Amino acid sequence: MNCTEFVELVTAFLDGALPEEDEHRVTEHLSGCDGCTTYLAQFRTTVDQLGHLPEDDVLALPATTRDNLMAAFRRKGV
Amino acid sequence: MVTDDELVTSLLAGDEACFAQVVDAWSPGMLRVARAFVATQESAAEVVQDAWLAVIEGIDRFESRSSLKTWVYRILVNTAKRRGTRESKVLPWSSVVPDSGPTVDPADFQGQGEPYPGHWRAFPQPWPTPEQHTLTRETAAHLRAAVDRLPERQRVVLVLRDVEGYEAEEVCSILEITPANQRVLLHRARTSVRQELAGYFESTEVTR
């Protein structure tokens, strides 16, 4: 395996979705390639940081929207 | 933990407290996903409102083939798709073939005639190592901007998987796409975001 092939397989590798043989080739490549080891670590960091993004907006429905929904639910219930 | 069956039974019985609880618990995540489709927070709130109205109308037709939340998210996505398409005049989702071709710039790798064809021309530069799970305000802003610049389908898959934390299987079910498609979209999205972060870290390294 070379690095161009490795970079296309990272997500499948992280998902554990690679066929056993490909997974073996990936780990073998990683064991000898510092560049791809760094790349994989940065890929993991990226995913991890996406999961820890602080909220930028107020993530709640506006009070009027919530009231509308409750009213609609009540109407449906009748 | 309330099961889906209990939840649906309460909702069908018109239990308002139960409905309020579900709306409060799920709307923040739904707003984030809606925001991946539409341009403004206001539009996202409208999408979430319309989705909940459709849920109220359709709850008696819910069949437990998926979880209630997945079903609600599928309604959300379909509502957002219609709205998103109206706002941006983009092609409908189903008609867009996922991009093919390499995700990383081929110029980053050695070509034929160089000592190691297909291997890094220069190794990716190491990133600063912050405390795990801590993001500076500036890095977070760059990360968010990178997500905003992604093509819609990639952005939606990335938000569901990596920001919201859904499993691959659930994302396929919500978006009604194949596992292979889901992975291609996610991989392209992650690659672009990593690339943007790398560019950001390198530029701050240079100016320091």
CATH of the domain at B74: 1.10.1740.10
Structure tokens at B113: 């005639």
Structure tokens at B114: 């160089």
> Are B62 and B117 in the same domain?
no
Report pTM: 0.86
Q: What are phi and psi of A17, to 5 degrees?
A: -105, 5
B177: exposed, middle or buried (C-beta count within 10 Å: 0-12, 13-18, 19+)? buried
Cβ <8 Å between A76 and B28 = no
> Are B150 and B188 in the same domain?
yes
Question: Are B24 and A41 spatial neighbours (Cβ–Cβ below 8 Å)?
Answer: no
> Are B78 and B177 in the same domain?
no
The residues with which B120 forms a beta bridge, in sequence order, are B109
% of chain B residues with pLDDT over 90: 59
Containing structural domain, residue B133 = 94-207
Asked which of B27, B61, B90 is the last residue of a domain, the reply is B90
Give me the amino acid identity at B124.
Answer: P
Checking if the pLDDT of B34 tops 80, the result is yes
- Give chain B positions within 8 Å (CB) of A2: 109, 116-119
C-alpha to C-alpha distance for A64 and B111, rounded to whole angstroms:
60
Cβ <8 Å between A53 and B165 = no
> Are B30 and B54 in the same domain?
yes
* Residue B121 C-alpha from the chain's centroid: 32
How far from B120 is each of A35, B91, B175, CA to CA, in Å? 7, 36, 35
Read off the pLDDT of residues A27-53 as tens digits, 9 standing for 90 and up: 999 999 999 999 999 999 999 999 988
Cβ <8 Å between A65 and B45 = yes
Task: Give the residue among B154, B164, B174 at the shortest CA–CA distance from B65.
Answer: B174
| Greatest Cα-to-Cα distance within chain A, rounded to the nearest angstrom | 68
* Domain count for chain B: 2
Checking if the pLDDT of A59 tops 80, the result is no
Cβ <8 Å between A42 and B135 = no
Read off the pLDDT of residues B112-160 as tens digits, 9 standing for 90 and up: 899 999 999 999 998 886 655 567 888 888 999 999 899 889 999 999 9
Check if A32 contacts B (Cβ < 8 Å): no
Of B56, B132, B186, the CB nearest to A72: B56
Please give the full DSSP string across A18-66, using - where no structure is assigned.
Answer: S-HHHHHHHHHHHHH-HHHHHHHHHHHHHHHHHTTPPP-S--S--HHHH
Question: Are B42 and B60 spatial neighbours (Cβ–Cβ below 8 Å)?
Answer: no
